[in-house]
Homo-oligomer: A and B are copies of this chain.
Amino acid sequence: MIINGEYRRTIWVKDGDSRLIQTFDQRLFPHEVKIIDVKTSEEAGIAIKDMIVRGAPLIGAMAAYGIYLAAVEFSGDDIITYLNERKDFLNETRPTAINLSWALNEQFNAIQGITSKSAIIEALLNGANKIVEDDVETCRMIGQHGLQIIEEIAADKPGEVVNILTHCNAGWLACIDWGTATSPIYQAHQKGIKVHVWVDETRPRSQGANLTSFELNEQGVPHTLITDNTGGHLMQHNLVDMVIVGTDRTTRSGDVANKIGTYLKALAANDNHVPFYVALPSSTIDWEIRDGVKEIPIEMRSADEVKYVFGKGKNGVESVLICPLTTPAANYGFDVTPARLVTGLITEKGVCAASEEGLISQFPEQKR
C-alpha cells in the first residue's frame, strides 16, 4: 500500500544486502515515518517484543527473518541447536498470536534434512520470503472475498455510503500488504464503492488512532476516528452497516482472540443485528483448541501502556500520564469473542460460518 505517495511493504530485505532486514518503527506512526534496520535474531526478537512491528502476520514474517538471521550470525559447529535456542527466544516474545510459532515451524520444516550452513541460510531466506509473498496473496484473497460482502451491502443501499466499523489495526501495517480486515475495504474503495470507516481508537496503545487512521488517510479512504466507547451508540442508530476486525488466534470452533475490546463490539453488533465479520489468514487458526475463552492465553502487558498515552505534544512525540502516579493499572492485551457472536469468518479460501463445520468446509484436511 501507500505511504507518502509511495508503494511500500511493511518488511523487506534490503536491496543489495541480503543480511539486512528493514521495517518501519510502528511505534512512531502517525507522527514519524522511520525505517529500522534488523541485523540479528536478537534485534528481530526485540522488534517483536517492543512492538516496533506488531500484527499477527507481520510478527510471523519478522520471526521468520529472525531465524534466518540466526543462521547468518551463527559461527560454530551445531547450528541446529543454536537455531532451536533462537526459536524458543523468538517464540516467547509475544504469547497470543499463533502466527509466530506457525512461521517458525514453517522455517524449521524448510530446513529439514539440510546440513550445510550455507544451504540452511539460503533455505531460511527463501522460506521467509515465501511467508511474506504468501501473506500478500492471502490478504489479497481475503479482500476479494470480503469485497463481495461489501458489494452486497452497497447494492442494498444504492448511492449511499457503506459504513464499516473496525477495531485496532488489522490493516496492511499489521501484515505485509493489503491487511486482513482492511483488505476488503481497500478493494471496495479501489473499485469505486463509497465506503466510510469508523476507526476505534483502540486503547491501550491506540493502534486505531495511530495506525488505522494513518493508513486509511494515506490511502485516501474516508474515515472517522471514534473512542472505543462509541461503537454501540453508532449501531443503535443504524450508523454501522458491518463490523470487520482481524484476529490473533482463532480456535477450531470459531472463537476469536483479538485486541481487547473486540468482544464488546461484537456484543453491540449482535444486539443491533449488525453483521460482525472476522478477517483472517488461515495461519491464525489454532486447530488444537476449541474453547477460546478458557484456552487462549491472554497477554498481560505493562501497566504503563494504560497509565500513559503516547502522542505528539508541543515539544514533540511523548507520553503523558492520565491518572494519579500511584494508581495501579491492569493491561490485558486481548479478549475472546465467542463464535456465537461472529456472523462469518473471511479467510483466503472464502467466507464461512464461525464454527468447526464452517472452518472444516474450507480446510477439510483438518477434519478429525
Contact = CB atoms under 8 A, between A and B. Distances in A.
Interface of A: 30-31, 198-199, 201-204, 206, 209-210, 213-214, 217, 223-234, 236-237, 259-261, 263-265, 267-268, 271, 293, 298, 306-315, 318-324, 326-332, 334-336
Residue in A268, A322, A330 whose Cβ sees the most chain B Cβ within 10 Å: A322
A61 B308 CA distance: 33
A199 B323 CA distance: 11
B225 A203 contact: no
Nearest to A233: B335
A330 B230 contact: yes
Contacts of A306: 201, 225-227
A201 B233 CA distance: 18
A324 B217 contact: yes
Contacts of A224: 327-330
Contacts of A331: 227
Nearest to A167: B229
A357 to B, nearest CB: 24
Contacts of A318: 313-314, 320
Given A201-B203, A226-B330, A323 B233 contact: no
Given A231-B264, A268-B264, A293 B236 contact: yes
Given A225-B329, A260-B233, A313 B323 contact: no
A225 B271 contact: no
A209 B264 contact: no
A230 B310 contact: no
Q: Is the interface of A mostly helix, strand, loop or mixed?
A: mixed
B229 A260 contact: yes
B209 A323 contact: yes
A-B CB proximity, top 4 nearest = A229-B261, A311-B320, A233-B335, A267-B267
16 contacts: A30-B324, A31-B321, A201-B203, A206-B323, A209-B307, A210-B322, A214-B327, A224-B329, A225-B327, A230-B332, A232-B264, A233-B332, A233-B336, A267-B268, A308-B311, A314-B318
Nearest to A263: B232
Given A298-B233, A318-B320, A228 B261 contact: yes
A324 B214 contact: yes
Contacts of A264: 229, 231-232, 264-265, 267-268
Given A311-B322, A320-B310, A267 B261 contact: no
A62 to B, nearest CB: 25
A293 B237 CA distance: 8
A324 B293 contact: no
A165 to B, nearest CB: 12
